[in-house]
A and B are shown apart, each in its own frame.
Chain A
Amino acid sequence: MTLGQLSWSRWYGIVVKEFIQLRRDRLTFGMIVGIPVLQLLLFGFAINTDPKQLPTAILAADTGVFSRTLVAGLRNSGYFDIQRQAHSEAEALSLLHSGEVQFLVQIPEGFSRRLVRGERPALLVQADATDPAATGNALAALSGIVDTALSHDLRGPWAGLQPRPPPVELRVHRLYNPEGLTQYNIVPGLLGVILTMTMVLMTGLAMTRERERGTFENLLSTPALPLEVMTGKIVPYIIIGLVQVTLILIAARWIFTVPMQGSLLALYVVVVLFIAANLTLGITFSSLARNQLQAMQLTFFFFLPSILLSGFMFPFRGMPDWAQALGSLLPLTHFLVLVRGILLKGSGLVELWPAVWPILLFMAVVIAVGLRFYRRTLD
């Protein structure tokens, strides 16, 4: 098969054509700018993995000083919003069952009295744990809350009831995101998710659109080479991707106050790499798909695991090994490591190399597949 010579003039012609077409397609153009801004604002503000002010009901059979202290302590922690005072156990349980409250705190009869006597009375906390993420942090904070709340009142004659200090003093440093703000994690992640979606989809549609409209036949009848067509179609979307990234970064900096520890240059290098990987995938999808609908389906087939297995939504290390292996195939997984590393930790490209080469490898494989399946003829 004669490959012929790559021609800059042809390549440039394809780039120009794509830009003109993109400019005329107002809706697509609007989506390209609108989607990232909208999603960023929506998800950036909406998603919170450390939920607070969770509705709580109290069933207090004891009104002693320690009970009151305890309730105040729960309230002050910020996790518990005490909305209801239940009067019977049946009523309390029905509140939990109907989902009206997330927690039910039961203070048994004679709680304060038994506490003073050193009888270690039980404090029952029942949680609606259907969604572990919603209750996890609040429950984890619980024992600390109880200890500190009571320590104020356990003075003088009752000082002996103070909890004994543990044999080891535990020191925890929460690095890179000391306040545990979800935004810091979500906003850089959104960068990757938005790029994955728009880049794969846009290019996925680009080639199938030609085929559906019949213009592909015309393109094929010219001397244009597959590599020229593929790369020529990619260029406008690289620029669009960079515009999206810049918009997101501006919002991250000024709206979500995400720290930017690392070098902006390194970030953009990584971004270009990631964009290129997604675009080659999109172009390959469009070579495989017969029409725009199929290209769309392929995109979503890729997009869902990208969101769920990459560590964007759920902790990557929480998945079983096979799922981690699967997730490692996805460029988004590595991009998340890169972008969070650069923005939050200030890592450099050299340290991050282990997350760079998988994206390069992914790209090489996808290009090979794409060129293999690009139909030079109509067969």
Chain B
Amino acid sequence: MSSDLVIDVRNLNKRFGTKHVVRDLSLQVSAGEIYGFLGPNGSGKTTSIRMLCGLLTPDSGSGTCLGHDVIRQTAEIKREVGYMTQRFSLWEDLTVRENLDFVGRMYGMRNRRDAVGAAIDRLGLGSREHDLAGSLSGGWKQRLSLAACMLHEPRLLLLDEPTAGVDPKARREFWQEIHELAATGVTVLVSTHYMDEAERCHRLAYIAYGRLLARGTAAEIVAERALGAWTVSGDELAGLAPKLVPLAGVDHVTVFGSQLHVTGRDREQLARSMEQAARQYGDYRFAPAAPGLEDVFISMMDNARDDRQ
């Protein structure tokens, strides 16, 4: 079992000054898996990823990445991991091809020319290969970054919010690419804020305030949380929402277009409140619903914040 694990770290901790950014992070990712890494801004996702690829040294904890020790063998890890940073971090004053050439040289690739050519073809960068990277739009930059971090054929890709600020079509193509890569045996750890992307991952981990709060498949995480959810439809929803918030058992009321989405941790209490509200506000239709991943994460985030205070 453990030989199958590409990432296997236990109790990683990282502090910056007095800020405890990552607390006791344990993570196991199997080969060929697309592993989603979720959590609010500032939750420690980027720091965790940087520790995995040897850019940051954990204060404590242990583990391996591709079989190399995350503390002592960072040089080996760097050679075999492809890391895509959150911000575009290639050289804006180099062209697409020059960037890829440079990255190829950094990994000491023998067949650099062929590999760069292949990467350009594969990601459809051919028409832009002589453009300066700085002149590319967000979607093209993201493709270039992906091409750069897979150039040396790493066995593990660490992607830090790769699709932030990218249009839906480019995102879809991007995920297509990720799934094709995973099919060839590459393991992918990807952090994201998008729920639709989270659902495309094989497994997920949710991290908030430096703590890992949940992990498993999307369905497992939703089921485990056992959140109650109701939808309310009708006219003038905006006026109704504030009246539902103070009801017992209601944690969140969110407007989704022509529906209100009401969730609560206490399913029975929520059901009682909703049935009573249904009688009181006869113009609206109240119906139980299946909670989504987003409901679960928002609920967990609130709990985590309460724990911290």
Contacts and interface: CB of A to CB of B under 8 A. Distances in A.
A215 B91 contact: yes
Given A2-B72, A25-B93, A223 B85 contact: no
A12 interface: yes
Contacts of B91: 17, 21, 213, 215
Given A17-B94, A21-B94, A377-B56, A223 B87 contact: no
Given A20-B98, A213-B92, A214-B85, A221 B53 contact: yes
Given A2-B72, A20-B98, A377-B57, A217 B85 contact: yes
Contacts of B78: 221-223
Contacts of A88: none
Interface string A201-226: 00000000000011101111111100
B55 A10 contact: no
A110 interface: no
A10 B106 contact: yes
A214 B50 CA distance: 14
B102 A13 contact: yes
B214 to A, nearest CB: 28
Contacts of B88: 214
A220 to B, nearest CB: 6
Interface in B48-98: 50, 53-57, 72-76, 78-79, 81, 83, 85, 87-94, 98
B256 interface: no
Q: Is the interface of A mostly helix, strand, loop or mixed?
A: helix
A320 interface: no
A171 interface: no
B279 interface: no
B55 A221 contact: yes
B75 A220 contact: no
Contact of A223 (B75, B93, B98): B75
Count chain A CB atoms within 10 A of each CB in B53, B79, B94, B132 and give the residue with the most: B94
B94 A20 contact: yes
A219 B89 CA distance: 9
B106 A377 contact: no
A12 B107 CA distance: 12
A379 interface: yes
A220 B55 contact: yes
Contact of B89 (A4, A217, A377): A217
A17 B102 contact: yes
A10 B56 contact: no
A222 B99 CA distance: 13
Count chain A CB atoms within 10 A of each CB in B56, B105, B108 and give the residue with the most: B105
Contacts of A24: 93, 132
Nearest to A378: B55
A220 B103 CA distance: 11
A69 B278 CA distance: 121
Contacts of B94: 17, 20-21
B89 A214 contact: yes
Nearest to A22: B93
Contacts of B101: 13
A13 B102 CA distance: 6
21 contacts: A2-B74, A2-B76, A7-B108, A12-B105, A13-B102, A13-B104, A13-B105, A17-B94, A21-B91, A21-B93, A214-B87, A215-B89, A221-B81, A222-B78, A222-B103, A223-B79, A223-B108, A377-B54, A377-B56, A377-B74, A378-B55
Given A21-B93, A379-B57, 15 more contacts: A2-B73, A10-B105, A13-B102, A25-B93, A214-B87, A215-B91, A217-B85, A219-B106, A221-B55, A221-B81, A222-B78, A222-B107, A223-B75, A378-B55, A379-B56
Interface of B: 50, 53-57, 72-76, 78-79, 81, 83, 85, 87-94, 98, 101-108, 132, 148
